[in-house]
Amino acid sequence: MSFEPRIVAFLCNWCSYGAADMAGTSRIQYPPNVRVIRFMCSGRIDPNFVLEAFLRGADGVMMTGCHIGDCHYIDGNYKTANRYEFLKHYLDILGIGADRLQLEWCSAAEGLKFAQSVTAFTERIRALGPNPLKEGGK
Amino acid sequence: MSECFWGWSMREDLRKNGESGGFVSSLIESLIGDYDRVISVRKTGTVFEGKVVDLKDSSDVKGIQGALHSLCINMSAYIKKGMRTAIVLKPCDAKAVIENMKRNHVDRGDVLLIGLNCGGTLSPVNTMKMLDVEYELRPDEVVKEEISKGNLIFFTEDNEFSKSIDELEESGYGRRESCRYCNYKIPSVCDIACGNWGTPAGGKVTFVEIFTQKGEQAVRSAVEMGFVSVEAPSEKLVMVRSKINSSMKKLARSWKGKVLDPIMELSPIDRLNYITNTLSPCIGCYACRKACPVCNCTGDCKCLQMDPDDVLPIPQYHAVRLLHLMESCIGCGNCTDVCPVDIPLARLHQLFAKAYEDRTGYKPGMSADDVPPLSRGDIPEGH
Ligand code: SF4
Ligand code: SF4
Ligand code: FES
């Protein structure tokens, strides 16, 4: 059976969630592999949520938020950016690999960008194969 | 700038019986009354047994032992916020205190840190086994132990038994694993660092290095009040001390090369399997968190809310701890010591921490003013 990546995407309510919405209403196609979880701000994405997604079998995790300077809570996304960099080191040392995590800034008007980054990320994960934490992969 | 001295106790009994002329004992005696707590370790039976004491008067000073090699206690736990505390501790304890200062659990102004140089400590159980197997000694026969010139020496009433630490460690005895690759031997973050490196043989003096004004004041007033005496050390022995320090560090590097580097060099998938398998016997008692001196969330600690019965490839508790400690594990080894199923936790935490240090240059426990690279609240590079 061919491998279909399971991707968990954490979306900020004010931007990337809007972008995903826009992609939908504009009928822009993107792979159905992402499971979207909405947050009020990307700054709420506790690194632990990312870990939990991997531990529970996600093949890839996306963190998305407003562009730097546009966060509705001023500096929530500074934290996101720092956590993302920190998590990348961690996943790399752990052996899951930093390339299974992706951060994307998307404004609510960037439906196309959102769709494109989901597509690109899905393809990347497809090439990487299943999360090595899952025995045998599925 | 630091200053170096040889120091000794002015109390005849302490000078004679104290390992290195009783300097530390007399120095802390001079601090009783000045500080709310004056904390050190006292021998309670054999050289392998001791307990932490809060000295209240001069009579408490007898039997004070700066350090016992097989008493691996986390001294930083005895510092309470708001209590003026003078404390004798080893380098990793001192690093833990610094980390606690960063987390606002300790005020620098409240503490006088009297550090001890440390070439490593021994786990009590393993030491008992080693005494039996390698030295054919009973713990109660031993009156003194010493690490000197690469040897671990045990003294009985009328004999001494010496073995090469290298050989002992190759066969699984000797120092605790985390001590083997610890490269912080002279605790320069303290106010004062004391030890026997760079002292004349049989000289009954302590080598004292003073790092701060507060340390200098403490020593000066101990001298003025007649508790201790100091003199300038010989140049030659200052050199000897720094040579011992660098050879200990070299040894630490080679141990890191033997223990941690091979794990980092595994392929990512093999490393992941190694970590997963190593953690798999965990029974979720959370003792390792309790023992960790830098991990001290109170109240709603997230780690403790993880369900230990939740079967995941890596217990979520450990996944989070490995993440958090990547920038703060000081390598004390306390977690390994307490694990009831003998998981080499410090090895895993140090694997992450050392790799993170190699990547970012950031070392925890070195200064209360250091902020980890990705916790500064600014926008990281490339965003
Ligand atoms: S993780 Fe273990 S070795 Fe590291 S600071 Fe905590 S107790 Fe010490
Ligand atoms: S001390 Fe050992 S058994 Fe207990 S939680 Fe830590 S790793 Fe698991
Ligand atoms: S509100 Fe969108 S990242 Fe903070």
* pLDDT, tens digit, 9 for 90 and up, residues B118-128: 999 998 888 98
Residue carrying the six token digits 């100091």: B230
What mean pLDDT is reported for chain A? Answer: 94
Least confident of B143-152, B190-199, B208-217, B263-272: B143-152
B332 CA to centre of ligand 2 in angstroms: 16
* CATH code that applies to domain B124-174: 3.10.450.750
A73 touches B at CB < 8 Å: no
B317 touches A at CB < 8 Å: no
Residue ranges of the alpha helices (H) in chain B?
12-17, 23-31, 91-102, 124-130, 165-170, 177-180, 213-224, 235-265, 268-279, 287-291, 316-325, 334-338, 345-360
What is the share, in percent, of chain B residues with pLDDT greater than 90?
77
Closest atom of ligand 3 to CA, residue A71: 4
Residue ranges of the alpha helices (H) in B206-360?
213-224, 235-265, 268-279, 287-291, 316-325, 334-338, 345-360
Q: What is the pLDDT of residue B59?
A: 87
What mean pLDDT is reported for chain B? Answer: 92
Q: What is the mean pLDDT of residues A73-101?
A: 97
> How much is the ipTM here?
0.95
Answer whether 0.90 is exceeded by the pTM.
Answer: yes
Confidence bin at B72 (pLDDT 50/70/90): confident
Task: Suggest the residue from B266, B320, B323, B357 to mutate for an interface test with chain A (most A CBs closer than 10 A).
Answer: B323
Q: What tokens appear for B159 in the block?
A: 């004999």
- CB-ligand 1 contact for B353 (6 Å cutoff): no
Interior angle at CA B65, CA B63 and CA B68, nearest 5: 130
Least confident of A121-125, B46-50, B254-258: B46-50
A75 CA to centre of ligand 3 in angstroms: 8
Q: What is the pLDDT of residue A136?
A: 47
- Atom 5 of ligand 2: nearest residue by CA position: B286
Q: What is the mean pLDDT of residues B80-92?
A: 95
| pLDDT tens by residue, A29-46 | 999 999 999 999 999 999
Q: Out of A72, A75, A114, give the residue to mutate to test ligand 3, the one with the largest number of ligand atoms within 8 Å of its CB.
A: A72
Query: Per the CB < 8 Å rule, is B312 touching A89?
Result: no
**Looking at per-residue confidence, does B15 or A9 come out higher?**
A9
| pLDDT tens by residue, B290-300 | 999 998 887 78
Sign of CA dihedral B169, B366, A43, B355: negative
Q: What tokens appear for A54 in the block?
A: 């991997």
- Atom 6 of ligand 1: nearest residue by CA position: B292
A-to-B residue pairs, Cβ atoms closer than 8 angstroms: 83
| pLDDT tens by residue, B13-30 | 889 877 789 999 999 999
Query: Which residues in chain B are closer than 8 Å to A56, comparing Cβ atoms?
Result: 312
DSSP summary character for residue B86 = E
Interior angle at CA B328, CA B322 and CA B333, nearest 5: 75
3-state class of B144 per DSSP? Answer: strand
Residue carrying the six token digits 């956590």: A83
Q: How far apart are CA B241 and CA B236, in angstroms?
A: 9
Confidence bin at B1 (pLDDT 50/70/90): low
- Whole-angstrom CA distances from B157 to B160, B203, B371 are 8, 21, 51
Q: Is the pLDDT of residue B303 over 90?
A: no
Query: Per the CB < 8 Å rule, is B326 touching A82?
Result: no
Q: How far apart are CA B90 and CA B76, in angstroms?
A: 10
Q: What is the mean pLDDT of residues A57-62?
A: 97
CB-CB contact of B196 with B245 (8 Å): no
What dihedral angle (degrees, nearest 10) is formed by the CA atoms of B50, B106, B194, B288?
A: 50
Q: What is the pLDDT of residue B331?
A: 96
A88 CA to centre of ligand 3 in angstroms: 20
Q: What is the pLDDT of residue A135?
A: 67
Give the distance, in angstroms, between the CA of residue B289 and the centroid of all CA atoms in the same chain.
Answer: 18
- CB-ligand 1 contact for B68 (6 Å cutoff): no
Confidence bin at A1 (pLDDT 50/70/90): low
Q: How far apart are CA B91 and CA B118, in angstroms?
A: 7
Q: How far apart are CA B54 and CA B76, in angstroms?
A: 13
Q: What is the pLDDT of residue A137?
A: 42
Confidence bin at B309 (pLDDT 50/70/90): confident
What dihedral angle (degrees, nearest 10) is formed by the CA atoms of B173, B179, B185, B191?
A: -120
What is the layout of strands, in order, in the sheet containing A101-105? A34-39, A7-12, A60-65, A101-105
Query: Which residues in chain A are closer than 8 Å to B271, comparing Cβ atoms?
Result: 93-95
CATH architecture group of domain B3-121+180-246: 3-Layer(aba) Sandwich (3.40)
Q: Is the pLDDT of residue B170 over 70?
A: yes
Chain B, 247 to 286: residues with Cβ < 8 Å from chain A are 264, 266-273, 275-276
**Which amino acid would we find at residue A32?**
P
Q: What is the mean pLDDT of residues B73-102?
A: 94
Least confident of A108-122, B141-155, B322-336: B141-155
Q: Give domain limits for chain B.
A: 3-121+180-246, 124-174, 260-376
Q: Give domain limits for chain A.
A: 7-133
Q: What is the mean pLDDT of residues B356-380?
A: 93
B293 CA to centre of ligand 1 in angstroms: 7
Query: Per the CB < 8 Å rule, is B326 touching A55?
Result: no
Q: Out of A45, A66, A103, A106, give the residue to mutate to test ligand 3, the one with the largest number of ligand atoms within 8 Å of its CB.
A: A66
Of the listed ligands, the closest to the CA of A10 is: 3
Query: Which residues in chain A are closer than 8 Å to B314, comparing Cβ atoms?
Result: 55, 133
Q: What is the mean pLDDT of residues A40-61?
A: 97
**Right CATH for A7-133 from 3.40.50.960, 3.30.70.60, 3.40.50.300, 2.40.110.10:** 3.40.50.960
- CB-ligand 2 contact for B283 (6 Å cutoff): yes
| pLDDT tens by residue, B212-268 | 999 999 999 999 999 999 999 999 999 999 999 999 999 999 999 999 999 999 999
Q: What is the pLDDT of residue B298?
A: 78
